[in-house]
Amino acid sequence: MARFLLAFAATACAAKLGIFPNLTCPAAGSQLRTDTTPIGYCPGDFDIRGPQLEVVYESALAPTGLGLAPNGDIYFTYARNMEVQKWTLTKKVNFTSEVPWPSEKWQNCAAGQDVATCFVNVQNVVLDAEGVFWVIDSGVPNGASFPIAGAPKIISFNISTAQPIRTYIYPTSQYNAKLQLNDIKINNTLGYAFITEDSSFGSITTLDLEAGTFIRHLYNTTYTKPDAQFTSMYNGEPIRNWNGTTPSYMSSGTNGIALANGNCYWGIKSSHRYYFVSQKALISNLTDAQLGAKVEVPGTFPSEGAGYTADDEQNAILYIDTLQSEMTDEINGVAPGGTGLVPTQNLIFKTFLRTAQAQAADTAAILDGWLYFTTNQQGLAPLRQYRNIDRRVGPFRSYRAWIGRGPAE
């Protein structure tokens, strides 16, 4: 009874103050609360932040990666890490339809086929500054824990003709205990690709685009490994890995990568940590010890980072200003504006958007001032749920939001 009376008194007070004059709380997400409205009166008192989202695609299946062509065409990847997928790379045809890209034949390897000429498990597709499409294939089949020899690869494609330009085969000598290629970014000026892989060991790989040589860096180090015994959150629920009724901790390493201002930034998925180092240091033939001494440690994400773009725990997309000219607040005595890079200790996370529509925003790409991103409800997938019950409910939407900027360089 005491609880009821307290609740009634609070509602009555709110009505008297003119906060909720109809004695009922507003619908969750209706954004009726103002800056002067008391916080915590109603179940839906969560801030919805950022620009309004535009839906660009609805998929019956949960997508992972997303790529954008200069003409606005949208491409999706369907990773086979957690489940069987008929197609692993597609192109949007209309709001609810897609076709395999570059063709049906690429989507699955036939018996005896050279695995360099077909897809095993595409993770992402990225457009570079010269209009070339880059496909990253982990080479790890669904249900397997190790790649097929010769299957982990990077393929550049002519986006207009859908023909491969060059295939780069990851050397088996660098598979080590495990390899799970995950994401890629290209610096055409430097002539290198930078690659993450999210095995429980983690690493950053550089690929010399002319020579075709791969070098795996920081393998199984503090800068790439997941946190021990990591548990995440999704829509307010703790998330673990499950095999029936047997739980295990999440153990994904480096996952997601960004290039900006001469630096290479990466996050660790089963962690709140992120790091960066100069791209030139990564391609200077340094030992891991020498390279580790140059890695910057700016702190932690406020949440689990998924794909270095999004956030699995708060239904948000976050960002950091790395150029001092973009800073709008004084930090540690440094006035807003100015020139050069923001000092590492002044790198501050800000919220670009927060909305229930961002259900595990996985991969993002920028085109013509718009930020596009996929959502896939990954925390509700069978591997993350007790007794492996699939709690995802589609269709799975991809969105875009206006940022008025181009990709980082």
Average pLDDT, the chain: 89
Least confident interval from 91-100, 357-366, 400-409: 400-409
Instruction: Tell me which of 16 and 119 has the higher pLDDT.
Output: 119
Q: What is the pLDDT of residue 315?
A: 84
The radius of gyration computed from the CA coordinates of the chain, to the nearest angstrom, equals 23
- Write out pLDDT tens, residues 186-221: 999 999 999 999 999 999 999 999 999 999 999 999
- Write out pLDDT tens, residues 286-325: 999 999 999 999 988 876 655 444 445 678 898 899 999 9
Average pLDDT over residues 362-388: 94
Q: What is the pLDDT of residue 15?
A: 41
11, with CB counted inside 10 A (0-12, 13-18, 19+), is: middle
Nearest residue to 103 via CA among 116, 87, 80, 92: 87
- Write out pLDDT tens, residues 248-290: 999 999 998 999 999 999 999 999 999 999 999 999 999 999 9
Answer yes or no: is pLDDT of 226 > 60: yes
- Write out pLDDT tens, residues 227-249: 999 999 888 899 999 999 999 99
Q: What is the pLDDT of residue 36?
A: 74
Nearest residue to 125 via CA among 147, 102, 109: 102
Average pLDDT over residues 34-46: 74
The percentage of residues in the chain with a pLDDT greater than 70, rounded to a whole number, is 89
Distance CA 153, CA 173 (A): 14
Q: Please, which pLDDT band fits residue 14 given cuts at 50, 70 and 90?
A: very low
Average pLDDT over residues 171-177: 97
Instruction: Tell me which of 16 and 383 has the higher pLDDT.
Output: 383
Q: What is the pLDDT of residue 13?
A: 42
Start-to-end Cα distance in the chain? 61
Nearest residue to 274 via CA among 284, 261, 287, 265: 265
Q: What is the pLDDT of residue 16?
A: 40
Answer yes or no: is pLDDT of 20 > 70: no
Q: What is the pLDDT of residue 312?
A: 55
For residue 45, the number of C-alpha atoms closer than 13 Å in the C-beta half-sphere is: 15
Q: What is the pTM of this model?
A: 0.90
Q: What are phi and psi of 166, to 5 degrees?
A: -155, 145
Q: What is the pLDDT of residue 186?
A: 97
Distance CA 287, CA 208 (A): 17
- Write out pLDDT tens, residues 70-108: 999 999 999 999 899 999 999 999 999 999 999 999 999
CB 152 within 8 A of CB 146: no
Domains and CATH numbers, the chain: 53-315+355-402 (2.120.10.30)
Instruction: Tell me which of 61 and 24 has the higher pLDDT.
Output: 61
Q: What is the pLDDT of residue 304?
A: 64
CB 217 within 8 A of CB 174: no
Average pLDDT over residues 324-328: 94
Given its phi and psi angles, is residue 150 left (phi above 0), alpha (psi -120 to 50 degrees) or beta?
Answer: left
